[in-house]
Structure 1
Amino acid sequence: MNVISLTVWTLENNCFAVYTALIVGFTVFTFLHKRTIEERYRNRITDKKEKLPRNGSGGKERDFPDDEGDEPYLVPAIPEDTPHVPYKPLKRADDEVLQRSRDYYQLMANRRTVRFFSPEPIPEGVLENLVKTAGTSPSGAHTEPWTYVVVQNPEMKEAIRNIVEEEEELNYAKRMSRQWVTDLKPFATKPTKPYLSEAPALLLVFRQAYSWRPDGRKRMHYYSEISVAIAAGILLAAIQYCGLVALTSTPLNCNARLRDLLSRPSNERLELLLPVGRPHKEATVPDISRKSLEEIMIKV
């Protein structure tokens, strides 16, 4: 009996034992191989992430990217020996504080999003003051993660409008849900955006995810999204205070094209596009109301 015949005879007469051995071997191999893969994956995740300690008893661990530096290169974003100076704002009486809070509320209660702009030019220096005011906003570790691009050139405004309208046609037709489009109907907003070329100025707010130190190393920006959001709120308040109006436009899927058009670097992302100016004499706004104080505030 040759080897092949012996093998066939053995398999035929011991098939149950052979198949059982194969199944057991395959199961053991799969289990061990799975554990090896999971262990390698966990090691890779651990190597990539640098976790901060929890803040307080209920804090959540957050992962922040390292700034590609070893400990000798870990220096603060601003000088460590920055002096702390006395803070002495003007002290106001209680009745004045109360009155000023009422006055400011009345001012901001009249703020509306406007889609119809007068072609009247904005007085010289106003836009610069608005941007300086937005620049007073707080930011994570004082990294000031914002860039404000002011556009007044008619050709550039038209180019921005063309990009936004091209993307908005796709947004309304394919990208946005039907409910989203339905919710916008009371505001009469459409893919066409004439105010982008009609307003005397466009103010584009870019968020810097990071920047660069003088030595060429990356400077991380912490909480850049909320920092820019706070700055945008201060900017809108300043626009209202000086008697102008704006439209809080968030052009969906336009970031890359507008960033390239305006020659902004890859570490910046467009968060807000604000047409700014005076309202057109025939401008209208939806007759809507805001939530009451009881709906938005809880006292504990």
Structure 2
Amino acid sequence: MTTIRPRRLRATPALRAAARETRLHPRELVLPLFVREGIDAPRPIASMPGVQQHSLDGLRRVLVQAADAGIGGVMIFGVPERKDASGSGADDPDGILNVASRVAVAEVGDALVVQTDLCLDEFTDHGHCGVLDDRGVVDNDATLARYEAMALAQAEAGSALLGLSGMMDGQVAAVRAALDRAGFTGTALLAYSAKYASAFYGPFREAVGSSLRGDRLTYQLDPGNGREGVREAVLDVEEGADVVMVKPAGGYLDVLRRVADVVPVPVWAYQVSGEYSMLEAAAANGWIARERAVLESLTSIRRAGAESILTYYALEAAAWLD
């Protein structure tokens, strides 16, 4: 009987490269960026070593770096000085997110896909992703009206892809209809369809100066539910989503694979703040080889079905892959 020897294709770097099933490319990486109102120098985020809140001038510099690195795009989050119950700064044309969007479009709009986070949590004084009713509960349908206003403001600012991350029922349909009525038929929608109520968002709360009171268990998905994540993605496609998202990435590779197997649109994933911070902490202690571990983690997300990955490693990984 002939001995089967799969190791033959692992014998040299050239053979391993020739047989590789999943490859990473800089164009498949999207860099999340935090732009803070009222600062004139970068502010380090303690829980995310190497990641900063940017001023508008600092944003311009990192946008040029991102374009030069050949990555696919940037996702912009705004960090305002003032917040209120309705998150009024979110749809203010002079609010930090919309100003930053105009800066990004002017600077690199031809080279990168400029994307903006469409959610209220950074702008509300209670820190929730929607407006609250008189019982202190997130009002789904009242929130949709706020999302429509945000979408129009972001489209006016030139954002090419709006990241609907609030997990309100019907948000994709509402935003798509509002954009189409206003003539923004070419503005694309990225639905954070399978966004789980995860403990791995912890460092992000520092990054955006979150003032969250309570939790988001009534609108983000239960980590034990895989089928529900697939259902949400299918619903968002039916409502008009151009791209769907699974978030977090690393702990939900099974959901990512299942979503990628059933939807006809691109599927993306977000390697979230807690995933980044754990890798950084382990590398800082010498417990893992940092570059290898980062690239392995990104490759696993691609292998599971993500066609693009939001990751704080986008610039570094692009340089390693060059």
Same fold (TM over 0.5): no
Greater fraction of residues in strand: 2
- Please classify the TM superposition score into its range, dividing by the shorter chain length: under 0.3
Q: TM-score with structure 2 length normalisation?
A: 0.22
**Greater relative contact order (Cα < 8 A, sep 6+):** 1
Greater radius of gyration (CA): 1
Q: TM-score with structure 1 length normalisation?
A: 0.23
